Structure 1
Amino acid sequence: MATASAFIDIPVSADQVWQLVGGFNSLPDWLPFIVSSEASEGGRLRHLKTADAAIVERLQTFDNAGKTYSYSIVESPFPVADYLATLKVEAQGEGTRVTWSGSFTPVGVSDEEAHALFKGVYEGGLAALKANFPG
């Protein structure tokens, strides 16, 4: 099993960040490469579209008070299986730390290649998130 993670510090309250990212179906609101997200199964499944791919993810855990959720991939073009990721928003001093991490089994690629892929997704996504909070 391989893993990847990234974090970013944002100079606003955890409540403000969670308001934007806390909805499982809210990725298009802050992640530019997600063109659309459609919920099904009472909001537990999200059908994501990028410019050139479709991804289906299932909500596994959700803790609104703890400002965290975990999800798995049901369908995607990514070369992994057994994917489980967590997005966590934590108050940190005057601001917020957001951590996005995942574990997965590479399929047809090395652990290092899979790690690099998701580390890039997480870092790029968190940078896009921070851009929503100028200053």
Structure 2
Amino acid sequence: MATTSATLDIPRTPDVVWRLIGGFDSLPDWLPYIPHSELTEGGRVRRLTNQDGGVIIERLMAFDHVGRSYSYAIERAPFPVTGYLSTLAVRDVPGAPGTSRVEWSGTFTPAGVTDAEAESIFHAIYTEGLDALSGTLAA
């Protein structure tokens, strides 16, 4: 099993950041790579469409509004992995009031690629996504 993560500190309170990213259907609000999201199954499954028209289906596995995190699994996507489980979380930064630490992490089993290649794909998605989040919040 492979794993990767990305973390970014943002000069906004955790509540402000969570209001933007905490909805399972909120990716189009802050992630330009995903311009469309549609919820099904009572909000437990999201059908994402990327900029190229590709479809990604993800299932919500855990949601903690108070703890400001959610975990999801990929059910269908053009990525060379299986068993994908990811968590997006917003944390307080000790000693830095008004600052949030956003953590995006995932575990998965590479399929037809090395661990390093699969980790590189998702590390890029996470870091580029967090950079987009920072830009959205700065606007």
TM range (shorter): over 0.9
How far did 1:73 drift?
Answer: 0.1
> Is 2:130 aligned against 1:126?
yes
Structure 1 residue runs without a partner (length 5+): none
Which TM-score applies when normalising by structure 2? 0.95
How far did 1:51 drift?
Answer: 2.1
SS in 1 for 2:137: coil
Cα deviation 1:17-45 (Å, max 9, x = unaligned): 00000000100000001020000000000
How far did 1:97 drift?
Answer: 0.2
- Hey, what's the Cα distance between the residues in 1 that align with 2:92 and 2:136? 17
SS in 2 for 1:103: strand
SS in 2 for 1:87: strand
RMSD: 0.9
- Hey, what's the Cα distance between the residues in 2 that align with 1:17 and 1:51? 24
- Hey, what's the Cα distance between the residues in 1 that align with 2:51 and 2:92? 33
How far did 1:133 drift?
Answer: 1.9
Stretches of 4+ aligned residues off by more than 6 angstroms? none
Report the counterpart of residue 117 of structure 1 in structure 2.
121
- Hey, what's the Cα distance between the residues in 1 that align with 2:4 and 2:102? 14
- Hey, what's the Cα distance between the residues in 2 that align with 1:21 and 1:7? 15
Cα deviation 1:87-107 (Å, max 9, x = unaligned): 010011220000000000000
Structure 2 residue runs without a partner (length 5+): none
Aligned length: 135
- Hey, what's the Cα distance between the residues in 2 that align with 1:132 and 1:31? 8
How far did 1:132 drift?
Answer: 1.6
Report the counterpart of residue 110 of structure 2 in structure 1.
106
Report the counterpart of residue 11 of structure 1 in structure 2.
11
SS in 2 for 1:33: coil
